[in-house]
A = this chain, B = another copy of it.
Amino acid sequence: MTATIPAGVETARDLVGPAIATAVDRLSPEVRMVAAYHLGLTDADGRPETRTAGKALRPALAVLSARAAGAAPERGVPAAAAVEFVHNFSLLHDDIMDGDTERRHRPTAWTVYGIGAAILAGDALLMLGQDLLLEGPAPQGLWASRCLAAAVQRLIAGQGSDLAFERRDDVTLEECKQMAGDKTAALMACACSIGAIYVGAPAALAMGLAGFGAHVGLAFQLTDDMLGIWGAPEVTGKPVMSDLRTRKKSLPVVAALTSGTEAGRELGELLAKPEALTEDELADGARLIEAAGGRDWVEAEADSALASAEKCLAETEMPDDVRAEFANIAEFITARQW
């Protein structure tokens, strides 16, 4: 497995990047400043940045999705930008909710501009995504917009569960998987199908691609949850063991807690402590998750999700080079960096 960003992702970024920058220019000055900083277009003072922000996987998937329908990559650009805006809307708001202070190796927007400004920038990007689709060709622009709106509602439902889980100590593994499906897989399914929808592809293609994306999205969340515990900070851009530190009910944690093992029981006691966890306790926590089988379970689930994704891909009609690029991205997304 590889951790190198597939070439198609870079190409898509070059294609979609200018459309993103142009659309952000429509925002009012105060809101634009925050959005541009968050998107990595500018630094905190509004000066142009050359650094790349985020992996831009979703736009790459959306462009591929248009190509899967036989369209030129350019035709998928509005859909790709829309998905990226919605993804960044959710990051802006989630960072506030989760109290995260660092993202992509930079201070999060709310720590730089305040909570109010970051909420607004998220709101603006959410609507900007819809704007781009609705001003596109009818009726496909409308279909794409409804597809994205449905994904957004699932994203919100997933984040709502995530917040609620923090206050509960009886979260089941089933609930946790549902949450990951809502929070991550729904938008990934949308990214993989929206380009095709936007260029007017037949329903069978859109549905096959959405199925692929849903499985890839689940694999992605499982991987992300692993990185939240065992990932290197220089790779994740987040503090070491960030998810354990905040006692997030991530998939490996819940798998361990509900394992019925002695290690799982001890993990429950550790996480129930009212005080902040020390570095030693965090290391203990990570070991207990492994001992309770949480890590093995997540790896097996990720492999299984990836296999399902590959099956969807194989069964859906599309040009071979496009299928190969989808497979590359799926593999990249779940490459293990811990």
Q: Which residues of chain A have a CB within 8 Å of any CB of chain B?
A: 26-31, 89, 93, 96-98, 114-117, 119-120, 122-124, 126-128, 130-131, 134-135, 138-139, 141-142, 145-146, 149-150, 152-153, 156-157, 159-161, 163-164, 182
Q: How far is the CA of A220 from the CA of B288 in the complex (A)?
A: 60
Known: A134-B145, A138-B138, A145-B134. A163 touches B123 (CB 8 A): no
Q: Are B93 and A119 in contact (CB under 8 A)?
A: yes
Which of B96, B138, B142, B150 meets A115, CB within 8 Å?
A: B96
Distance in Å from the Cβ of A97 to the closest Cβ of chain B?
Answer: 3
Distance in Å from the Cβ of A290 to the closest Cβ of chain B?
Answer: 30
In terms of DSSP, what is the predominant structure of the interface of chain A?
A: helix
In this complex, what residue of B is CB-closest to A160? B30
Q: Are A96 and B123 in contact (CB under 8 A)?
A: no
In this complex, what residue of B is CB-closest to A131? B149
Q: How far is the CA of A131 from the CA of B149 in the complex (A)?
A: 7
Task: Tell me which of A27, A116, A145, A182 has the highest count of chain B C-beta atoms within 10 A of its own C-beta.
Answer: A116
Distance in Å from the Cβ of A147 to the closest Cβ of chain B?
Answer: 10
Which of B30, B98, B152, B157 meets A28, CB within 8 Å?
A: B157
In this complex, what residue of B is CB-closest to A34? B160
Q: How far is the CA of A139 from the CA of B138 in the complex (A)?
A: 8
Set of chain B residues within 8 Å of A122, measured between Cβ atoms: 123
Q: Are B127 and A28 in contact (CB under 8 A)?
A: no
Q: Are A119 and B117 in contact (CB under 8 A)?
A: no
Q: How far is the CA of A114 from the CA of B127 in the complex (A)?
A: 24
Distance in Å from the Cβ of A167 to the closest Cβ of chain B?
Answer: 9
Q: Are A135 and B126 in contact (CB under 8 A)?
A: no
Sampled A-B contacts (19; CB under 8 Å): A27-B157, A28-B160, A29-B160, A30-B163, A30-B164, A31-B156, A93-B119, A96-B115, A96-B119, A97-B119, A120-B160, A120-B163, A123-B156, A124-B153, A127-B149, A130-B149, A131-B150, A138-B139, A145-B145
Top-5 shortest CB links A-B = A97-B116, A28-B157, A30-B160, A31-B160, A30-B164
Q: How far is the CA of A206 from the CA of B160 in the complex (A)?
A: 38
Distance in Å from the Cβ of A123 to the closest Cβ of chain B?
Answer: 5
Q: Are A124 and B27 in contact (CB under 8 A)?
A: no
Distance in Å from the Cβ of A168 to the closest Cβ of chain B?
Answer: 11
Which of B30, B120, B135, B159 meets A146, CB within 8 Å?
A: B135
